[in-house]
Chain A
Amino acid sequence: MRRSSKKDDFIIENIFEEGNIIDDKKIIELYFERNEQAIKETDIKYGKLCHKIAYNILNNLQDSEECVNDTYLGVWNKIPPTRPDNFKAYISKIVRSISIDKFRKQKAKKRSADMVMALDELADILPDERYAPSRNDEEIGKSISIFLNKQKEVVRRVFHLKYFYFESNIAIAERCGFTERKVTHMLAHTRAQLKEYLIKEEIYL
């Protein structure tokens, strides 16, 4: 049997956390100045978001904490020279990528059922390299962006919440004011359309 985590403590702690939230540009300036306050400000502003993304993927407090710390370190090492235009998206992508890497190494028993299901659903669209030879992730990501930009705003939003942020269907339903059933159907439909699109674009072979 698995032991229960202590995630509760951190969520409560973070919810009540207060600080003077500063502008992203100022945070980036702090990184450029190599001022360690940059990490503190990043944590104040995006700590909750990063923890949430990591936890959605990893379902484990300690692992999430490690991923968030690795994210801060990664950002510290990349800025400078990188100067991200959209710091929120930038940090979200990093924490997501680090957490997915950690998920790969996790033992099956530790994994979130929601996350496993989300990955199974994604595997139906494009499982592995064999189906998209000579295409890198960035290229495919761009095609997915083109596809999503053609969809209704709400369809796009539900898709992102599910497969970028790995929110549960229940949480998406709550957030969008839908029923869970509607979210499930909407995602199934978008996945089918995306697969068709990738086949048409000759990405999925």
Chain B
Amino acid sequence: MNIPKIADAIGYIDNELITATLEAPPKKRHNPVMKWMTAAACLTLFVIAGILIPHLLKNDATAESKYKYHVSKTERAIEWPWKYKTAAEKYPAIKFNGKQFTVKSQNPIHTDALGDEIGSCIAEGLDPDTEKKYTETFEVRKIHGISEELMIAAGNEDGFYVYAADESTAPDTLGKLLELYGLSQNIELNYVTKCENYEEKEELLLDNDDEIWQILAGRSDAKLDNTSDFFERENRIYLAFTATSETLGVYNRVIYISEDGYFATNILDYEYSYFIGKEAAGQIIRYVQKHSTETKSSSSAPTISGTVTEIGNGYMIVDNTALCRNPKAGKEYKVYTDDIRVKRWSESGEIKTGDLVAVEYEGKISDSCEITGAYSIFTGTLEENDILTQ
């Protein structure tokens, strides 16, 4: 690979700039409530903390302070053997009704999001190791609320995946975007960040997004803004809603509503803006301000990390003692490995006893620390926070 000239040139930037970067203290996400809390309130907090901390320590996600280390992901571009590939990996593109569709997400779609069967297709895949061609018949189903011209679900009894039509252009009005992709039913606008320029001012949680979708539906004639291919954040006040949708095959994308009257989103991979007017945008912003509560960032997938201490038939044991300040606070998790995306790591020997791993899962951890919804695992290194500062 050619190293761009500028990468070498960056090696000659001023020394002061290089060290200043490391000397700046690491920042934690601020909590404005804490910022303004008086000393008296802090004292109260200590009392409350005394009661709550033992409880919080039981919860892996919230007991941040008990960990001195975290598992930092090691990048590994593994080309899995054919037998370990998911259907989406084997067949990244399919043809249906003469149209080419490309897989949108590596995660299978839940069956309750699947609509009627609309046909079948022959998926063709190539094993790069053996150069052998494979074919499989996929059942094609509609996805609830989404036009089959744009997205379909294809797969078999092992799972269905979202495929999006190639070369589909952005709808020319907001109304068509909402309708064709069934946005009001496929995306929940409940986690939102209030921003000014690039600054994130406040993170908010919204219980109900119906009103927002109604306001947007009222501006269905809003035209696609062809003058800009991205949403400029500079000199703007706006809300940024986290847009995650299994049915649309998108994770942690964004929908912006700006004070100057724009709706913008990157859920279709590129950023598109629609001018909904200042009044409608103002209504949405006021509604969010009035009906939301402050929250901490929590849009990442639930994860547990630790050392693999045992690999058994259909499970592995992950012990997080190595991450804890106090080894006595460590816990053992039994992670079920029935999902191929997890199973292939242990079966192939890529993960072995003694490796540090992080496991992403769906659902909840049982009282006996068992995890049934593990869908992703990766190896990493034990890293103290802020190694660069020394």
Contact = CB atoms under 8 A, between A and B. Distances in A.
A44 to B, nearest CB: 10
B102 interface: no
Contact of A186 (B10, B75, B198, B254): B198
B388 A165 contact: yes
Contacts of B75: 59, 112-115
Contacts of B28: 177
Contacts of B5: 126-129, 131-132, 137, 140
Interface stretch (B164-172, B361-369, B378-386): B378-386
B198 A182 contact: yes
B15 A164 contact: no
A1 B348 contact: yes
Interface in A106-130: 108-109, 111-116, 119, 122-123, 125-129
A129 B5 CA distance: 7
Contacts of B381: 7-8, 11
Nearest to B307: A8
A33 to B, nearest CB: 24
Given A7-B381, A142-B12, A164-B18, A153 B24 contact: yes
B234 A189 contact: yes
Contact of A145 (B1, B14, B385): B14
Interface string B328-360: 000000000000000000001011100110000
Nearest to A85: B15
Main DSSP-derived SS at the A contact region: helix
A185 B240 CA distance: 12
Contact of A144 (B9, B74, B254): B9
A100 B9 CA distance: 12
A157 B27 CA distance: 12
B382 A1 contact: no
Given A4-B351, A177-B27, A126 B18 contact: no
A161 B21 contact: yes
A140 B12 contact: yes
Nearest to A125: B6
A108 B8 CA distance: 19
B3 interface: yes
B17 A145 contact: yes
B4 A177 contact: no
- Sort chain A's interface into a size bin: 35 or more
A30 to B, nearest CB: 19
Contacts of B40: none
Contact of B384 (A15, A129, A182): A15
Nearest to A146: B14
A166 to B, nearest CB: 9
A116 to B, nearest CB: 7
Contacts of B14: 142, 145, 149
B338 to A, nearest CB: 21
B390 interface: yes
B135 interface: no
A127 B340 CA distance: 40
B264 to A, nearest CB: 12
A7 B355 CA distance: 10
Interface stretch (B76-84, B107-115, B137-145, B275-283): B76-84
A167 interface: yes
Contacts of B34: none
Nearest to B28: A177
A137 B8 contact: yes
Given A125-B4, A177-B27, A8 B382 contact: yes
Contact of A49 (B234, B351, B390): B390
Contact of A2 (B3, B76, B193): B76
A167 to B, nearest CB: 7
A176 B30 CA distance: 10
B379 A4 contact: yes
A133 to B, nearest CB: 11
A4 B355 contact: yes
A128 B9 CA distance: 11
Contacts of A164: 10-11, 13, 18, 21
Contacts of B299: 179
Pairs of residues from A and B, 9 with the lowest C-beta to C-beta distance, nearest first: A141-B12, A89-B15, A177-B27, A140-B9, A126-B6, A86-B15, A160-B21, A123-B4, A112-B75
8 contacts: A88-B19, A114-B75, A137-B5, A144-B10, A156-B21, A157-B21, A160-B18, A189-B234
